[in-house]
Amino acid sequence: MRLKRIAWSAVTAALVAAAPLGGQAGPPALDSLRARTTAAAQRVTALAEQRERAAAWADEQYRAIAEARRRDPKALRPALRQAQTAADSLARLDRRLDEAVRAADAARQALAAGLQAELERTVAAAERARPPDKATLTARARALSDELQRTRRPVDLPPTDVPAVVVRPTDGPAEIELKADFLADRATQLRSAADVLAGEITRERRRAELQDEVERLVAQTRLFDETDVPPPSVELGAQGTERRPVDTPVPLAPDRGARAPPPAAAGAAPGGTPGGRPEPTDPVSAGDPRTASDRLTRLRADLLRQAAALERQSGEIRRLLRDQP
């Protein structure tokens, strides 16, 4: 299942990178970033397929052990050796796959940064341009923005669209069964998307808890003037996005230690002015550390509901097939 997800992500990333801006060519640096992203994604796909084949071969070797135990004890030792080789090979492939996934992620992030820069340049140029050029530049900015959004997707999910499948009177038994199978497959895919989200939700909750603890510790020590360092401004992204994984760091005073104020904070004193504070955060969203995980939880519940609906529909179609005269 994990392999399918990885391969799906890689294919999506490759498609995103391969079809930028509706076929428009970008600046050379951007093209190179796209090429790098595509290559990294293709490597992930290739390794995922290789690992899938290796896993199938390893399964055969494990089955051979059981077979040897039952029928030919002399063959047990070679079977064990072979199974060990298969397991080692799988472990090696896992490591390579892990590295490739990380490299693909880094390439995707670099592409996103490049797209963001290009988008800003294009928007600025569009603002200055005369009407005929303005339309072209605006269209290009829109395409860049779409590509950026696809590139920056926060969680790699398997496809989550719900198909509309209807059994027609002209459908034969084979076609009806095919449609039932198709719906059941889509339900499985939706459930695997929900699994991906479940892992993401756990990670997000843990991350929020850790950050919450840091904020409270710093707030407590500052309140009693024990370190006088302000709470971290962590919730609002540099451009106003909520809860980005990297964000404004907790300002720690560089020039003083315990009971000392923080010059590093926005609005704080540079040389040791007491009471320095960071820039205001967005407490409406920051007020609830579970905001992001809540959103993911709702999305996951939706996916599971859709999966259940598809399974019901698939079951009804199969019943229809059984009840056919």
Partner 1 sequence: MTRAARLSPAATAGLLLHAAPLAAQALRGDFSIGPEWLRFESRAVAQPTFGGKASAGLTWAARPGSSTVIAVEPRIGFRALTAEGTPTITELVGDLRASLTATSERTRWWLSAEQRVRAVSDSVPAPVYLDPDRRETWARGGIAIPISGQWLLESSVGAGLVRYGPASWQQLDRTELIGTAKLSHALGPGLLRLTLGAGNASFSGAPFDTRDDGRWALNAEWALRGSPFVQVELGAAWNSSSIETFDYRAMRAAVLVSASVGRSSIQLYSALAAKSYRDTGDTLALVDQETGSFVIAQATSPIASGTFLHLRAEWVRSESTIRSRLYQRVGASAVLGYRWPARRSSP
Minimal distance in Å, beta carbon 233 to partner 1?
Answer: 10
Q: Is 277 in the site for partner 1 (CB under 8 A)?
A: yes
Question: Between residue 84 and residue 113, which ones bind partner 1 under the rule CB under 8 A?
Answer: 113
Minimal distance in Å, beta carbon 184 to partner 1?
Answer: 36
Nearer to partner 1, 26 or 251 (CB): 251
Select the span of 53-61, 172-180, 240-248, 314-322 touching partner 1 (CB under 8 A).
240-248
Which member of 100, 193, 234, 303 binds partner 1 (CB under 8 A)? Answer: 234
Nearer to partner 1, 150 or 259 (CB): 259
Question: Between residue 198 and residue 217, which ones bind partner 1 under the rule CB under 8 A?
Answer: 203, 206-207, 209-211, 213-214, 216-217
CA dist., res. 106 & res. 116, Å (int): 15
Nearest to 110 by CA among 38, 3, 202: 38
Helix crossing, 28-71 with 2-18: angle to 10°? 160
CA dist., res. 153 & res. 149, Å (int): 6
Question: Between residue 115 and residue 174, which ones bind partner 1 under the rule CB under 8 A?
Answer: 116-118, 120-121
Minimal distance in Å, beta carbon 85 to partner 1?
Answer: 35
Minimal distance in Å, beta carbon 137 to partner 1?
Answer: 16
Q: Is 290 in the site for partner 1 (CB under 8 A)?
A: yes
- 283-291 long-range contacts (CB < 8 A, ≥24 apart) are 283/235, 285/235, 285/236, 285/242, 285/243, 286/234, 286/235, 286/236, 289/208, 289/209, 289/211, 289/212, 290/205, 290/208, 291/242, 291/243
Question: Between residue 242 and residue 271, which ones bind partner 1 under the rule CB under 8 A?
Answer: 245-260, 263-271
